[in-house]
Structure 1
Amino acid sequence: MSSTKSKTINTKNFISVLNLCEDNLLEIINKNNIKNWRSIKRPSINRVGLEIIGHFEIDDLNKNIIGFGTRESNLMDSVDVDQLENNLKRIFKQKPPLVICSNGVNQKNKDLIFKWANEFETPVVFVDTKLSFITTTVGIYIAEHFAPEDFVHGSLVIINGIGVLIVGPSGIGKSEAVIELIQRGHMFVSDDSVIIKRIGNHFIGQSPKITKNILEARGLGLIDIKTIYGEKSIKDKTNIDLVIELKKDDQYNFDRLGNENYFYNILDGKIKKILIPVRLGRNTASLIEVATSLFISKNEGVDTFKEIQERIRND
């Protein structure tokens, strides 16, 4: 690795209905009736309560998943049958890519939804859960898919529940430190390359598919972490809570007291960063562990530098 800079990856602007359903174990009940599959183009699930009662602000339902839950079912029961048919026809005529009905939709209304979905070749999923659960689980999946992302040269591990991105110049010992961290019982996510996505103020890191579970160590070559250390040593993705940047000890004037704040800037946001000096004879993995523990303790309100200042004032 020759750089710690990120390389922007184009944000995905659609998602396949079939892929979404497969990944989330959703069964399309009218799959055989669909000839032309449409794509999901927006990271949200629309609830069509207003449309059910005939209030159409904009005919723009062809990009989002549409969700029917208890509230929508109750509204359907309150509308005149002919008017309801017309409103459902207008909803499905816009050809939404996917419709999900929760267990709060009664059978009569499911039959109506199914009728108009088939009329306009719209895939339908019936789930045995509340719509709020679907909007959370599937909503997170969609939000992550559409989230802006960057490609970063570095390694990603989980230390005591904290997602730690390790960056630094080529040859400084990132991969070697990661191997030792794994041997100490910490979890491996990615080596050399990390894909980072931003969802709100959260940053999620994962490995590119081609290098998933693989670590490259100088002199040893490619190591399959899952095969050697077992399933418990790996994780597909994690929130990135902390960035640790390794720097050669003789090339930087380090903060000796640990009271300076550093940040790693990415995707128009920032992540807390700690700088660690690296030199021959120092155990980098141990320093990374200690830095992570200090990060945790500061989050819990323990600040050694402030404590020393308080002791000086009270002396």
Structure 2
Amino acid sequence: MEYITLDKLVEDLELEIIYKADNMEKIKISASEISRPGLPLAGYFNKFAYDRLQIIGNAEWFFCNNLTKDLRYKRFEEYFSYNFPALIFARELPIFPEAIEFAKKYNRTILSVDISTTKLVNTIINYLDYVLAPGTVVHGVLMEVYGLGVLIIGESGVGKSETALELIKRGHRLVADDVIEIKKVDSGLRGQSPDIIRYFMEIRGIGIIDIERLYGVGAIKSDEFIDLVIELEFWDEKKEYDRVGLDEDYIDLLGEKVPKLLIPVRPGRNLAMIVEVAARNARQKKLGYNAAVELNNKIKTQMRIRKARDIRNEK
């Protein structure tokens, strides 16, 4: 997403509106940086980052409160003449009358919140980093399995939701079914469900079920980083499937390479158990142990020993 509108930010973060600019729904925020306007309020407007959200905390508030009334009036008028997106007062600090006056004059939005300044800054930056990050939508199921985010994809009807339901019964957690919104953030690829279908799942023959209602809050998770992609496909007798695991396969998601496994589906295969094993094995690989490589090395070592023994016997 290239930008978010101010009214959407206010709604999502549940900020209190003290004064609303008449164009609030058209104000665009396209960067996650914020500004604490200590220097501008002290009269130094050179390099003032007025295009960012402005936050007044304890330090800025008490500085302004100690100014003479005339000087505060002058500073606020110059400050509000800049076209900033909004001014947020943290800790439910009292709003200066001059701020209200010039917000009306220059059509600026003033907001308030009852949390600390540091927490407010972190909340806004994390929120904007996420909503402004590059994103995509994928059809599948996202689960947390043994602490790893496992994205299950495949053709319609191959059994993605049924596999996820069995994983939930085994104690793992559902993040999203059917539609997964993926965002590229600094820590990796994070997936979640759209709000409207969050924690709902479609099971053919039954219909829509509510996982939170049926299995409790321990069976769900709001979001998860994607560590492994498992593609389910109907078994093809003519196709040669990997039986060793030496060849690593990856899928590209938003420019990030994510390990991918192709799992053939046919009657009698316990897909939930296979996904569990795949997750455990992926975690071992993250820790530096690859069973396929380990076995291959042992075989090579054994072959070298036998070859050396054969050479000695020939002599």
Q: What range describes the TM-score normalised by the shorter chain of this pair?
A: 0.7 to 0.9
- Residues in 2 aligned to 1:83 and 1:94: alpha-carbon distance in whole angstroms: 18
**How far has the Cα of 1:75 moved from its partner?**
8.0
Listed as ranges, the gaps of 5+ residues in structure 2 are 303-315
Aligned residue identity for 2:6: S
- Which residue does the alignment assign to 1:283? 270
Deviations 1:216-266 (A, max 9, x none): 222222222222222322223222222111133426433322222222212
- Which residue does the alignment assign to 1:243? 229
SS of alignment partner, residue 308 of structure 1: helix
**How far has the Cα of 1:113 moved from its partner?**
5.2
Aligned residue identity for 1:150: T
Select 1:16's aligned residue among 6, 22, 29.
6
Select 1:271's aligned residue among 241, 253, 258.
258
Change (3 A) 1:312 1:113: farther
1:1-315 aligned at under 5 Å gives the runs 11=1, 13-17=3-7, 19-28=8-17, 30-31=18-19, 34-37=21-24, 39-44=27-32, 45-49=34-38, 51-52=40-41, 53-57=43-47, 61-62=50-51, 64-69=52-57, 86=74, 88-102=76-90, 116-117=102-103, 119-127=105-113, 129-250=115-236, 252-312=239-299, 315=302
Q: Which one scores higher on RCO, CA 8 angstroms, separation ≥ 6?
A: 1
CA contact (8 A) 1:156 1:205 kept: yes
**How far has the Cα of 1:87 moved from its partner?**
5.1
CA contact (8 A) 2:228 2:260 kept: yes
SS of alignment partner, residue 191 of structure 1: strand
Deviations 1:110-161 (A, max 9, x none): 6765664455343334555553322221211122222222121111111122
- Residues in 2 aligned to 1:208 and 1:308: alpha-carbon distance in whole angstroms: 43
- Residues in 2 aligned to 1:83 and 1:24: alpha-carbon distance in whole angstroms: 33
SS of alignment partner, residue 154 of structure 1: strand
**How far has the Cα of 1:314 moved from its partner?**
5.1
Listed as ranges, the gaps of 5+ residues in structure 1 are 1-10
- Residues in 2 aligned to 1:259 and 1:55: alpha-carbon distance in whole angstroms: 61
Change (3 A) 1:65 1:301: same
- Residues in 1 aligned to 2:249 and 2:160: alpha-carbon distance in whole angstroms: 20
- Which residue does the alignment assign to 1:4? none
CA contact (8 A) 1:47 1:66 kept: yes
So what's the TM-score if we normalise by structure 2?
0.78
- Residues in 2 aligned to 1:190 and 1:23: alpha-carbon distance in whole angstroms: 20
* Alignment coverage as a number of residue pairs: 298
**How far has the Cα of 1:304 moved from its partner?**
1.5
Deviations 1:247-298 (A, max 9, x none): 3342643332222222221223232222222222111111111101111121
Change (3 A) 1:222 1:56: same
- Which residue does the alignment assign to 1:5? none
RMSD: 3.3
Change (3 A) 1:212 1:132: same
So what's the TM-score if we normalise by structure 1?
0.78
Identity %: 33
- Residues in 2 aligned to 1:82 and 1:255: alpha-carbon distance in whole angstroms: 78
Deviations 1:1-51 (A, max 9, x none): xxxxxxxxxx3632233x4334324333x24x6554353422322344554
